């Protein structure tokens, strides 16, 4: 059985996983850094220091759970960007050290490719497909011809969708991260209570903009004297609807543009139930089938990186020990 180790430390989650193309995920563990909640966002120095403490024991637990040693691995995949440099360096240095010590091939994975291929962990991806990547740092639509072939159809001009959720959560005084908090609050709210903008609706491009929405919510909250639980729920539900609607409008446009019959959602925001519901309905109306990864593989995780490592290494794509991190950069095709 071929086994691939994945390592992900690009932001504040430390994660290791072992993937087999025959059996799927054999062992998987993610440690979330709860310290950041009290600062209302990720503090890079705390993130990298915590990765340093957490990664080795986490790796040992995952290897033990899988009952394997380094010599049993067919490859090692590590996220080398985009992300926080200090955090990325902890994962990359660790991956290089064990690759050097064992002679197991190493491959660097673009974090966004990882999110896309989270859809290929449990079954092969049905391609060509349109993939909407919605995370804390990215909001992009891709035409994925096959794993390794990525054509960017559009992206955000300013904030990412997850960032909008997080910033609006902060304005409403909800716990960090804002995405899950807003989804929870919105369940008790009226999505029609407030009218928030859907920017770039008529731009004719598959592009997004969320900074105007954030400002509109801030101004509305300043105008409301009393922020009762019900008001927070109504603002949360209305803001969530605006984000989801904006994502749906451009996703439908992308599906129409390339006559896609398959549509996937990826990234942390793909965990949002309302987004899944609306996409299933609106993309379904276009005649395309919609799916997303299991929730644990939507937010940052190493399972997607281990799966991507298999795609790279089985296509003969490995990296040397000169592999470096990169803080930002577009996803490029390799197949
Ligand atoms: O993919 P991810 O774990 O990290 C990045 O690569 O950025 O995504 C994190 C983002 C955060 O902005 C978080 O608020 C958002 O995903 N998120 C959600 C939900 N769960 C996580 N947004 C909306 N609804 C959710 N249920
Ligand atoms: Zn991510």
HEC letters along the chain: CCCEEEEECCCCEEEEEEEECCCEEEEEEEEECHHHHHHCCCCHHHHHHHHHHHHHHHHHHHHHHHCCCHHHCCEEEEEEECCCHHHHHHHHHHHHHHHHHHCCCEEEEEHHHHHHHHHHCCCCCCCCEEEEEECCCCEEEEEEEECCEEEEEEEECCCCHHHHHHHHHHHCCCCCCHHHHHHHHHCCCCCCCCCCCCCCCCCCCCCECCHHHHHHHHHHHHHCCCCCHHHHHHHHHHHHHHHHHHHHHHHHHHHHHCCCCEEEEECHHHHCHHHHHHHHHHHHCCCCEEECCCHHHCCCCCHHHHHHHHHHHHCCCCECCCCCCCCCCCCCCCC
Q: What is the pLDDT of residue 125?
A: 97
Q: What is the pLDDT of residue 35?
A: 79
Q: Which residues does a 6 A CB cutoff place in the pocket of ligand 1?
A: 11, 135-137, 162, 165-166, 177-180, 183, 267-269, 271-272, 299-300
Q: Do 17 and 62 touch, CB atoms closer than 8 A?
A: yes
Nearest bound ligand to the CA of residue 298: 1
Q: What is the pLDDT of residue 51?
A: 98
Cα gap 277→281, rounded to integer Å: 6
Q: What is the pLDDT of residue 34?
A: 79
Closest CA to 105 of 63, 70, 148, 138: 70
Q: How far is the CA of 109 from the centre of ligand 2 (A)?
A: 12
Nearest bound ligand to the CA of residue 30: 1
**For a substitution probing ligand 1, which of 269, 278, 303 has the most ligand atoms within 8 Å of its CB?**
269
Q: What is the pLDDT of residue 41?
A: 85
> Which residue bears the tokens 């407030």?
194
Cα gap 45→15, rounded to integer Å: 18
Q: In what order do the strands lie in the sheet with 149-155?
A: 149-155, 139-146, 129-134, 262-266, 289-291
Cα gap 16→113, rounded to integer Å: 17
Q: What is the pTM of this model?
A: 0.96
Q: In what order do the strands lie in the sheet with 24-32?
A: 24-32, 13-20, 4-8, 75-81, 106-110
Residues making up the chain, counted from first to last = 335
Q: What is the pLDDT of residue 269?
A: 98
Cα 257 to chain centroid, rounded:
24
Q: How far is the CA of 204 from the centre of ligand 2 (A)?
A: 28
Cα gap 251→85, rounded to integer Å: 31
Cα gap 21→291, rounded to integer Å: 20
Name the residue at shortest CA distance from atom 1 of ligand 1.
268
Q: Which residues surround ligand 2, an ion (CB under 5 A)?
A: 135, 300
Q: What is the pLDDT of residue 226?
A: 84
Tell me the pLDDT of the chain (335 aa) as tens digits.
Answer: 999 999 999 999 999 999 999 999 999 999 998 778 888 889 999 999 999 999 999 999 999 999 999 999 999 999 999 999 999 999 999 999 999 999 999 999 999 999 999 999 999 999 999 999 999 999 999 999 999 999 999 999 999 999 999 999 999 999 999 999 999 999 999 999 999 999 998 888 999 999 999 999 999 999 997 899 999 999 999 999 999 999 999 999 999 999 999 999 999 999 999 999 999 999 999 999 999 999 999 999 999 999 999 999 999 999 999 999 999 999 999 99
């Amino acid at each position: 059985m071929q086994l691939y180790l994945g390592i992900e430390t690009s932001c504040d989650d430390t994660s290791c996983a072992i993937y087999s193309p025959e059996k799927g995920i054999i062992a998987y563990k993610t440690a979330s850094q709860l310290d950041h909640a009290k600062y209302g966002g990720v503090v890079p120095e705390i993130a990298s220091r915590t990765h340093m403490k957490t990664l080795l024991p986490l790796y040992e637990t995952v290897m033990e759970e899988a009952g394997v040693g380094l010599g049993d691995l067919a490859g090692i995949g590590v996220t080398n960007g985009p992300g926080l440099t200090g955090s990325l360096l902890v994962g990359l240095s660790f991956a290089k050290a064990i690759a050097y010590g064992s002679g197991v091939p190493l491959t660097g994975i673009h974090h966004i490719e990882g999110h896309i291929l989270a859809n290929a962990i449990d079954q092969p991806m049905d391609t060509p497909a349109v993939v909407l990547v919605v995370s804390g740092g990215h909001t992009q639509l891709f035409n994925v011809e096959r794993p390794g072939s990525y054509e960017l159809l559009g992206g955000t001009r300013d904030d990412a969708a997850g960032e909008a959720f997080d910033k609006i959560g902060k304005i409403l005084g909800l716990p960090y991260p804002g995405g899950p908090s807003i989804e929870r609050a919105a369940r008790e709210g009226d999505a029609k209570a407030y009218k928030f903008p859907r920017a770039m609706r008529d731009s004719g491009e598959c592009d997004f903009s969320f900074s105007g929405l954030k400002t509109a919510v801030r101004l509305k909250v300043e105008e409301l004297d009393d922020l009762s639980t019900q008001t927070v729920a109504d603002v949360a539900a209305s803001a969530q609807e605006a984000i989801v609607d904006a994502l749906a409008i451009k996703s439908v446009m992308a599906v129409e543009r390339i006559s896609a019959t398959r549509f996937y959602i990826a990234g942390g925001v793909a965990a949002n139930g309302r987004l899944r519901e609306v996409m299933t309905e609106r993309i379904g109306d276009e005649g395309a089938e919609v799916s997303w990864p299991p929730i644990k593989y939507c937010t940052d995780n190493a399972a997607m990186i281990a799966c991507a490592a298999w795609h790279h290494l089985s296509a003969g794509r490995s990296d040397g020990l000169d592999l470096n991190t990169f803080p930002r950069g577009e996803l490029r095709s390799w197949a």
